[in-house]
Structure 1
Amino acid sequence: MTPVLACRSCGTQPLENARFCHGCGAPVAAAGAHAEYKQVTVLFADVVHSMDIAAALGAERLREIMTELVNRAAVVVQRYGGTVDKFTGDGIMAVFGAPAALEDHALRACLAALGVQDEAKRLAGEVDRRDGVVLQLRVGLNSGQVVAGEIGTGALGYTAVGEQVGLAQRMEAVAAPETVMLGESTARLVEGAAVLGEPQLVHIKGVEAAVPAWQLLGVVDQYWQSGPAPATLVGREWELYTLTTMLDRSFAGRGSVVTLVGRAGIGKTRLAREAARVAKNLGVTVFSTFCESHATDIPFRAVTRLLRAAAQVSRLDDATARVRVRSIVSDGDPQDLLLLYDLLGIADPRVELPKIAPEARRRRLAALINAVQLARAQPAVYVIEDAHWMDEASESMVAEFLTVIPQTHSMVMVTYRPDYRGALRGVRGAQSIALGPLSDAETSALIAELLGPDPSVAQIAEIIATRAAGNPFFAEEIIRELAERRVLVGGVWPLRVHRRGRRRDRAGHAAGNHRRAHRPAQPGSQADPQCRGRHRISLQHRAADRPGHRPAYRGADQRGTRRPGAVHGAGRIRVPASADSHRGLRVAIEISSRPDAPAARRGDRSPGSGIGGPVRRADRRTPRGRR
């Protein structure tokens, strides 16, 4: 029988002889003779001293423990959209981003890694009480391009291979018990969204020089407003004028609801931030929340975040937070107040909650929130990002909340993708602003601001404009990658084209140690798309996915690297803060590759061509990103 691949849309394993996926309805594809390039994050988890546990408890008891551990870990991995690739004997390998593309695969993998460690610690307590042995887990993560596809037939099945897989396993090997260790590529992808330890230089098997690694300490809950705006707002004069006009109207007592609609990277977040900045300059308070692709099944997730921001209780202990909420909702029903405490996650565990049906609970909470908003005398601006990922419970409550906004002094901005069909799309009285691609002149103006006026960048600016196709974030990401690969060199601004063998910048670069020719980055290039950061980074050829380089570090808050033999005094580029909210759009650049990309024209032999036949590019849909 012809082997069948997991569903390319949702990752579900289809039923036998099924023509369509029972999870999402997409057509089922039989395993062919091809594999795909995929941008993924690979997770390895391994039990510490499993041989000692086996010697102490016996193989049968070890099998029971490992079965329970793997089952719990698999639930966590699947919760965040990952796929358990294989059982490794005393641990697991999981992949995020294959077979279904995920723009935030690195963040999902980090959340899963922390969740797996939590489950392992809970199981360790049970094992200690029953067997008297210590159960500990190490986890390692690494991100990058792999070749994913069927290897052989039968039980071998779908898997991912490549250097990034091996590096993930090496990160697990150097991790301390009960910790998670990240490779440099993963650390850059989640920078700004994760709490990382001090950078470390670790020695891994097969590599002579030390490589950088970071310990994952946690994940930040809010990062929408971190960092400065990425660049001057270009080409949105009419849209910004419309928003400022509606702000004035709202603050005068005729509240407004505005939806910003556009595809990934087109500038929704940038425009919303600019309007929020205008409101702040007028002394108006701005509250914001964002929705996440991995949290669409968590009830009330988005509305809880927005309410916690509006009540300003995020940094308060539960008792103090309850006092603050009580002062805001002074006339609320005591039982409704208990429900609100529970929704905000600040309920007193000693007080029993009212026993009411879920739908009645939702209605009472919605009525309470609406009443508080109607009683608010001061103007406010609410920003709801990426509503296409909002959970249904939040969507219902927010839709009711928007119905009372016209009677207030407030304004609500909601951003979503064009394919969104939820309740917030058709809110009565809402004004919708559709954002299209920038014109050629506007794209050129944006690129000129980023590159500067040096004559050497004129030709490459035209190439970037063509490749970006009016998408401002694509233009910024292409320029960032060119700078990181030292195709562009210079001061903070402007930049100049670096021609191999010639000293073009004022400080000069010893780039002769690199034997690889530089080529302009573009959608679909083989260049490492994972290297990003929210702070300044060195303008050097990226070596994150090629172990052996020996970087020095500037501190935990600025994780750029420096390579010996290069002069870096003038070689910095400002990295737009939007990278925090678009960690996945570099994946879009790779996935939306075109057949005439330079690597294909040169006829480069794919590293995975021996796996099931020739390698083809991943599906050309743009994965989800925040913009």
Structure 2
Amino acid sequence: MICIQCQFDNREGAKFCKECGANLEEACLQCGTVYQLGSKFCDDCGYKLDPDIETDKPAPSSEGERKYVTVLFSDLSGYTALSENLDPEEVKEITGWIFGDVSKIVSKYGGFIEKYVGDAVMALFGANQSHEDDPVRAIKAAQEIHGLVDSMSPKYEDMVGQPLLMHTGINTGLVVTGELNLEKGVHGVAGDAVNVAARLSDVASSGDILVDHETYTRSEGYFQFEELEPIQLKGKSKAVQVHKFLFIKQQPQKIHRLHGLRADLIGRKAEMAQLSEAIQNLANGKGSVFSIIGTAGTGKSRLIEEFKANLNIEEALWREGHAYPYSQNIPYFPLIDLINRTLQIEEGDSPEKIREKIESSMKLLFDDNEDVTPYIGSLYSLNYPEIENVSPEFWKSKLQKGMLLLLSALTKQGLTIICVDDIHWADPSSLDLVRFLLSEIREPVIFICAYRPTIKLFTSHQISTLPHPYQEIDLQDLSRSESQEMVQSLLKADRIPSDLQRFIQEKVEGNPFYLEEAINSLIESDFLIRDNDGWRVTKQISDADISSTVQGVISARVDRLEQESKRILQEASVIGRSFYYEILKKISELKGGIDKCLSGLERLDLIKAKSIQPELEYFFKHALTQEVVYNGLLKKERRKIHKRTGQVIEQLFADRLPEFYETLSYHFKMGRSIGKAIHYLMKFGRKKSGKVCIG
């Protein structure tokens, strides 16, 4: 039996090389049969053992993933009385109506009905497609489900002798997903997050929506909650911190963290100067249009918040509208939000109240001959007989005219800044209307649009035709020194523990949102504690979990990728923060199109080319992205890819293996090839100690 490491001829049946100690056998990943190293196929099941062989590769697998999801359990109070007092056929018909509409509500917010159990429904948010606001979506869905049943209850109260009400539990946590089949309604999730949501539903009173602390933390900017006493749930060793949903906030706060440490605005002096200069120009009758562009977490909303806070509210009028992830499919949502804030239309206002606010405001702002009020009102589904039969094209033109008149009228009330934030979440009709307004408004105004580079708001030609000067503010990650300054600002300390500095430089780097979340998460989990006038790291900081908010942002971005690109990113994440193209190509399950996927991932700024010579090498732009993608893989999937990676490195770099001893030891250890892991670790040790090591 020839050793592939040192070529020594060992006896048949030997498990380790007599000359160099290398492992001579491996087990087939498919069936477990032991085979001799160097074999190309398993002689028991035919599985391809040599990753260098160019045979047809299977399509990307989808066995499941480890994902943070939000689980909703909602139960119908009054179901027992309903069953006792009505014929089973009537009961089935009523619950069919209810749960049919529940399914539509859950789908509207991007959720998935996992199952119906008698009078209860279980829904998942983030299982088939992660969103950075899955907890918000779940709570909004629950609120609408409760409202649906409340509206139906009077019809049946006399029959059953009590109101029909829902009670709901919502929990966010880690699950393992299984087979996804939307047609059959199969998702197959497993994890404690499911059990906790069910228990919260059990203890919730009729009409209540109870959420766990994680869900509360990620949605407190949108909703008002009441903190309850910790509850001892069945099957849990510790009491669970619980919050009761009360109502939707009129003006949601999208700054991610409402509690905890917050840094000063760092590294944005030039951008603030641009905006401040625009205010001076506005006072002189000159308007401006700004695009504030940056990837998630670079601080678009924070920059706007600081700019707004520095304005003299007696001299300048601030008008704003927002788009949200859950509003992507709602036509004209950011413009409706702007109108709501301007005319003080509130959540829960009746159609009659909304009509009154719109019509009275329009009379104050417009001349009597400007009949555009019905078109503004139609955004709220208000009925105006005079526009029922107009064509879509005519309706659109009148809406454009109405919005232009509204914004023009607002600018006449004083120096005006209009901001539309997170417009990358807006639907196409909203983007078209914004482009129209900016190309037509002639009055002096500062118009700010903030968005991620996933959209292009203007073409070069459109920019050249704008009536006001146009500027782009392109926000980048902070430099190393700026990141250091931000940490000092967060901790209110000049001296930062060296372990924390290293953690920030290597893992978090310069994304302001990631940095702020990471520091607060370390404090909340007691990895970082106050020590007199400074701070002290109490545990191995690399063991700390990634903030769930950061996890949500990154996971949502990854889940929006095409399946092939996502798979390439997953395989690359196992290789490491940096990865060679040739290694990725040989371990990948994809049949082809790897180059196209890598180019797309580069354009999306998820990876970057590190070097071309002597080997083409890429790296993840953010270490946290690599970690989130890696953690999303099932553990058994990680093991397979680690082992394949080690085998490929052995073959590709056979003439320079000493460079890879430590890497090979790591991959074989993670791939459960312990013999090989020890073998390469010993070689690495000899190399470090200066001893000669052949092979």
Q: Give your verdict on TM over 0.5.
A: yes
1:104 has 2:157 as partner? no
The match for 2:566 is: none
Q: Cα offset for 1:298?
A: 1.6
Higher normalized helix content (fraction of residues): 2
1:453 has 2:453 as partner? no
1:269 has 2:301 as partner? yes
The match for 2:311 is: 279
- Equivalent residues in 2 for 1:23-62 (5 A)? 32=62, 34-48=63-77, 50-62=79-91
Q: Cα offset for 1:282?
A: 7.3
The match for 2:231 is: 202
**Any idea what SS the aligned residue of 1:95 has?**
strand
**Any idea what SS the aligned residue of 2:189 has?**
strand
Q: Cα offset for 1:75?
A: 0.5
- Equivalent residues in 2 for 1:319-330 (5 A)? 321-322=357-358, 324-330=360-366
Deviations along 1:563-614, whole A, 9 cap, x unmatched? xxxxxxxxxxxxxxxxxxx894486799999556999xxxxxx999799997
Structure 1 counterpart of 2:548, from 520, 529, 536: 529
Determine the C-alpha separation between the residues in 2 that align with 1:467 and 1:312: 44
- When residues 273 and 399 of structure 1 are mapped into structure 2, their CA distance, relative to the original with a 3 A threshold, is same
- When residues 463 and 201 of structure 1 are mapped into structure 2, their CA distance, relative to the original with a 3 A threshold, is closer
Q: What is the total number of aligned residue pairs between the two structures?
A: 510
- When residues 329 and 342 of structure 1 are mapped into structure 2, their CA distance, relative to the original with a 3 A threshold, is farther
1:496 has 2:535 as partner? yes
**Any idea what SS the aligned residue of 1:54 has?**
helix
Deviations along 1:497-544, whole A, 9 cap, x unmatched? 243xxxxxxxxxxxxxxxxxx43268xx546626xxxxxxxxxxxxxx
Deviations along 1:155-175, whole A, 9 cap, x unmatched? 794222111111000110011
1:403 has 2:424 as partner? no
**Any idea what SS the aligned residue of 2:110 has?**
coil
- When residues 461 and 280 of structure 1 are mapped into structure 2, their CA distance, relative to the original with a 3 A threshold, is farther
1:380 has 2:416 as partner? yes
Structure 2 counterpart of 1:520, from 533, 541, 544: 541
- When residues 304 and 173 of structure 1 are mapped into structure 2, their CA distance, relative to the original with a 3 A threshold, is same
Moved more, 369-378 or 478-487: 369-378
Paired AA for residue 418 in structure 1: P
The match for 1:85 is: 114
- When residues 322 and 75 of structure 1 are mapped into structure 2, their CA distance, relative to the original with a 3 A threshold, is closer
Determine the C-alpha separation between the residues in 2 that align with 1:289 and 1:483: 34
Paired AA for residue 367 in structure 2: D
The match for 2:245 is: 216
Paired AA for residue 496 in structure 1: W
Q: Cα offset for 1:293?
A: 1.6
- Equivalent residues in 2 for 1:139-538 (5 A)? 139-150=168-179, 157-207=186-236, 210-224=239-253, 230-280=262-312, 283-312=315-344, 314=346, 318=354, 321-322=357-358, 324-333=360-369, 335-343=371-379, 352-355=385-388, 356-374=390-408, 376-377=411-412, 378-405=414-441, 407-422=442-457, 427=463, 428-429=465-466, 430-453=470-493, 455=495, 457-490=497-530, 495-499=534-538, 518-520=539-541, 526=545, 529=548
Moved more, 584-593 or 59-68: 584-593
Paired AA for residue 326 in structure 2: H
Determine the C-alpha separation between the residues in 2 that align with 1:169 and 1:329: 52
Contact 1:450-1:494 at 8 Å conserved across structures: no
- Structure 1 segments (4+ residues) deviating >6 Å: 129-133, 225-229, 588-593, 596-599, 606-617
Contact 1:46-1:91 at 8 Å conserved across structures: yes
Structure possessing the higher relative contact order (Cα contacts under 8 Å, 6 or more residues apart)? 1
Deviations along 1:382-403, whole A, 9 cap, x unmatched? 1111111112333232222212
Paired AA for residue 497 in structure 2: V
The match for 1:536 is: none
Paired AA for residue 535 in structure 2: R
Q: Cα offset for 1:208?
A: 5.7
Contact 1:488-1:495 at 8 Å conserved across structures: no
Gap regions ≥5 residues in structure 2: 1-57, 560-568, 578-622, 625-630, 643-695
Deviations along 1:215-245, whole A, 9 cap, x unmatched? 2122224224887994222112222222222
Contact 2:170-2:212 at 8 Å conserved across structures: yes
Paired AA for residue 445 in structure 2: S
Contact 2:298-2:476 at 8 Å conserved across structures: yes
The match for 1:505 is: none
Paired AA for residue 365 in structure 2: V
TM-score by length of 2: 0.65
Deviations along 1:103-143, whole A, 9 cap, x unmatched? 10000000111111122233434444777775332211001
Paired AA for residue 115 in structure 1: E
Deviations along 1:312-362, whole A, 9 cap, x unmatched? 5559955763575145424143632343344468x6x7x755433333233
Paired AA for residue 381 in structure 1: I
Contact 2:212-2:243 at 8 Å conserved across structures: yes
- Equivalent residues in 2 for 1:576-615 (5 A)? 584-585=552-553, 595=574
- When residues 313 and 41 of structure 1 are mapped into structure 2, their CA distance, relative to the original with a 3 A threshold, is closer
Structure 2 counterpart of 1:67, from 96, 99, 103: 96
Paired AA for residue 136 in structure 1: L
Paired AA for residue 469 in structure 1: E
1:121 has 2:150 as partner? yes
Contact 2:76-2:166 at 8 Å conserved across structures: yes
Contact 2:223-2:252 at 8 Å conserved across structures: no
Contact 1:224-1:289 at 8 Å conserved across structures: no
TM-score by length of 1: 0.71
**Any idea what SS the aligned residue of 1:35 has?**
coil
Determine the C-alpha separation between the residues in 2 that align with 1:385 and 1:371: 21
Deviations along 1:410-456, whole A, 9 cap, x unmatched? 10110111111456995444322211221111112111222343646
Contact 1:37-1:145 at 8 Å conserved across structures: yes
Q: Cα offset for 1:188?
A: 1.6
**Among the aligned pairs, what percent are the same residue?**
23
- When residues 40 and 208 of structure 1 are mapped into structure 2, their CA distance, relative to the original with a 3 A threshold, is closer
Q: Cα offset for 1:184?
A: 1.7
Q: Cα offset for 1:379?
A: 1.3
Contact 2:81-2:161 at 8 Å conserved across structures: no
Gap regions ≥5 residues in structure 1: 1-27, 500-517, 531-581, 600-605, 618-627
Determine the C-alpha separation between the residues in 1 that align with 2:161 and 2:241: 36
Q: Cα offset for 1:459?
A: 2.8
- When residues 127 and 313 of structure 1 are mapped into structure 2, their CA distance, relative to the original with a 3 A threshold, is closer
Mark the structure with the bigger radius of gyration: 2
Moved more, 125-134 or 305-314: 125-134
Contact 1:339-1:353 at 8 Å conserved across structures: no
Paired AA for residue 519 in structure 1: Q
Determine the C-alpha separation between the residues in 2 that align with 1:456 and 1:373: 49
Deviations along 1:66-110, whole A, 9 cap, x unmatched? 332221111100000001111223221111011211110000000
Q: Cα offset for 1:281?
A: 6.1
The match for 1:3 is: none
